[in-house]
Amino acid sequence: MGKIIVVGSMNMDIVIKVPYIPAVGETILADEVVFFHGGKGANQAIAAARLGGNVHMIGKVGKDEYGNSLVRNLKDNNVNTGGILFDDAFPTGTAYINVSRSGENNIVVNQGANGNLSVQDIKNNSGLFEAGDICIMQLEIPVETVKYVIDLCSEKGIKLVLNPAPANVTINDYLKDVYAVIPNEIELSILTGSKITNHDDLLTSSQKLLEKGAVNVITTIGERGSIFVNKDTSFITDAVPVERKDTTAAGDTFIGAFCVAVYEGKTIKEAIKFATYASALTVTKEGAQESLPTREEVEAFIRNS
């Protein structure tokens, strides 16, 4: 049986509920502070697993309670954790997330053990890449490790789906044959050095990543949905309107759902539609991994929409 391999970050999310996102230099009082399991890698792994994927996670946490809790939660969500390592030197990564009453957020990440996931760690887990169908990565781990995995997936014939977050322009030189690059609008702007103000800007900027070798580019554009571009075509998929509580992990859900749909043989358009509905459900709940929908929830949502 094939598998979805996720190489990426695991964090404990410290969510600070605020009346609104503060400006630079501004001090405001929080409404509440809560803790959630997070990290883009772990979020995307659990998103894919809850939607039916056979998911294996490679990552690193500290030898602390946050790390133990994150690994337990992955196991509880049917993610294979054999590739997760416990670091002697660094604590588990943490993310500090401001969430406004309207559901907007901003995020500051302390990498911790995520920043120590090395090329050698990947080599030590190279067996996981046998019979792999899709590999998902983000940029919350060292870029050198990301580059190595890109090359390994190319060698093994594994579809690589890259979520370039946080955006790092050095990755542009390693996009050749990457099956799908999935940034948000801000990340696309940073990667391409382009100012994006309209639809044409999105197309032009996406084309720049295609010129770097990416096969498909899917940019999530918030309440407007997403835009798909490859060398043959482009199209917009509108967002599904819902009442938003917390946008945390909406992009991670989109990526996990997209990969499950591709893994199951759906077309790109079908996969994006499925991912759009899944990510819409995520923003109706609070937290990162706690908000990720099941396959049954998404299918019922699609039927009833």
Q: What one-character DSSP code corresponds to residue 184?
A: B
Q: Which two tokens stand for residue 158?
A: 């594994």
Phi, psi dihedral angles at 170 (to 5 degrees): -65, -20
CA–CA gap between residue 200 and residue 261 (Å, rounded): 28
How far apart are alpha carbons 165 and 141 in whole angstroms?
10
Q: Which residues contact 242 (CB under 8 A, 6 or more apart)?
A: 280, 281, 283, 284
Q: Which residue has the tokens 């999530």?
A: 220
Structure tokens at 152: 């390994």
Q: For residue 108, which amino acid is it? A: V
Among 13, 87, 133, 252, the one annotated catalytic: 252
- Between the CA of residue 224 and those of 11, 12, 118, 240, 261, what are the distances in Å? 28, 29, 37, 9, 21
**Cis-peptide, bond into residue 166, ω within 30° of zero:** yes
Active site residue 64: no
* Tokens read off for 303: 């039927």
Record the tokens describing residue 155, joined without a space.
Answer: 């060698």
CA distance 290 to 115: 24
Other CB atoms within a 10 A radius of the CB of residue 291 amount to 23
Which residues participate in catalysis according to the annotation?
252
